[in-house]
Amino acid sequence: MIIKHKETKNQTYRNIKFNALSVKAMLTGLANAGSQSVDFSKSVIQVVLTRDQKPHVIATSNLKILGLASTIDTLNQSAFATTASLGEQLVAGQTAMVSFTIPMGGVIDLHGDDEIYIQVDNSSGLFADPALEAASFLEVKPVKCYGVERFIPRIRAYVIQANEQQNQYMLSDNLIRLAVLNFDKTDFKNNVINNLIFSSDRLDETYTYADLIAKKLSSYGKQLISTAANDIAAQMQEDQSFLVTDFHEEYDNVQLDVQFNSANVSASNNYIVAWNYDTNWSIIQKAIAKDAEHDNNTKKKIDAQTTKKS
């Protein structure tokens, strides 16, 4: 689906399997004009699964929040950085691209009357340079895959209010990914978070601010050793967005208690983004049947190969 500047567009998909959404911002230069940034907060996406005539809201947020939450601790995080400019000064006809994916955390298998509805609303300011508006656009589409559906994901963002001192977030069951976002700090100074207490059925842990930084650095295989000259970790994104848990972990009864450094908490710049999922007996039974079918096919393949060799 192609969505141009200041355009709202939607598309419905059926009879596919997918596990992520692909987002690509295509920039085309005109008369030596370029873009210093792509402001993904100006693009709002809504993703709704309809099954058995019942809607399931998977996500509804702007692409800046979903994009950063999806790319934390990777080089793609620079697409949402306040310290790096995106794009370049483009000569006429030259193009550049910013791309990322929003993972679902599992397979969504559309069959029968199932459908996924995706709507994107691009507002003014998505592309920084007006000369890019006419020729530049977003492309958004599901990333097709194979596999077995085991749940319906849902991605929710919680805004942290300005000058917040402490708050408690009840994040419920089936939590599979958790990110804490910040958009206005360009380094590790002037911390927003003092402590983050994660409580659940499987893990109870307190993360200090130093813990969060160390975990971020380890994902890049770097140490932050400041010198009078340059920092050896300068190629990573030094900001205060942190990935707390990832898809290889799952927790129930999740409660998050966060103590903030209130003087550094500015409005509309800090969020908590959680991936949870819902499931039911119908989904589980279909998954068990699919697994059994795959196991049987594998057995037949091995038996055939064994018979051929003998």
Q: Residue 232's pLDDT is what? A: 45
pLDDT tens digit string along 101-118? 999 999 999 999 999 999
Q: Residue 184's pLDDT is what? A: 87
CB count in 10 Å sphere of residue 73: 19
Percent with pLDDT over 90 in the chain: 56
Residue 239 pLDDT greater than 90, yes or no: no
* Mean of pLDDT over the chain: 85
CB 163, CB 238: distance < 8 Å: no
Distance CA 139, CA 117 (A): 15
pLDDT tens digit string along 154-199? 999 999 999 999 999 999 999 999 999 998 887 888 899 999 999 9
pLDDT confidence band for 37 (50 / 70 / 90): low
Distance CA 226, CA 213 (A): 14
Percent with pLDDT over 70 in the chain: 83
Nearby residues of 168 by Cβ (< 8 Å), 6 or more positions away? 255, 256, 257, 258
Domain boundaries, the chain: 1-150, 152-280
Residue 231 pLDDT greater than 50, yes or no: no
CB 110, CB 17: distance < 8 Å: yes
Q: Residue 22's pLDDT is what? A: 95
What is the rounded average pLDDT of the residues 288-302? 85
Residue 211 pLDDT greater than 90, yes or no: yes
Q: Which residue has the higher pLDDT, 257 or 88?
A: 257
Q: Residue 126's pLDDT is what? A: 82
CB 153, CB 104: distance < 8 Å: yes
CA 72 to chain centre: 8
Distance CA 15, CA 180 (A): 34
User: Would you state the structure tokens that stand for residue 269, as one six-digit string?
Assistant: 């710049």
Say whether 212 sits in a helix, a strand or coil. Answer: helix
CATH architecture of 152-280: Sandwich (2.60)
Q: What is the CATH number of domain 1-150?
A: 2.70.9
pLDDT confidence band for 294 (50 / 70 / 90): confident
Q: Residue 226's pLDDT is what? A: 53
Phi, psi of 309 (to 5 degrees): -70, -35
Say whether 240 sits in a helix, a strand or coil. Answer: coil
User: Would you state the structure tokens that stand for residue 292, as one six-digit string?
Assistant: 């059994």
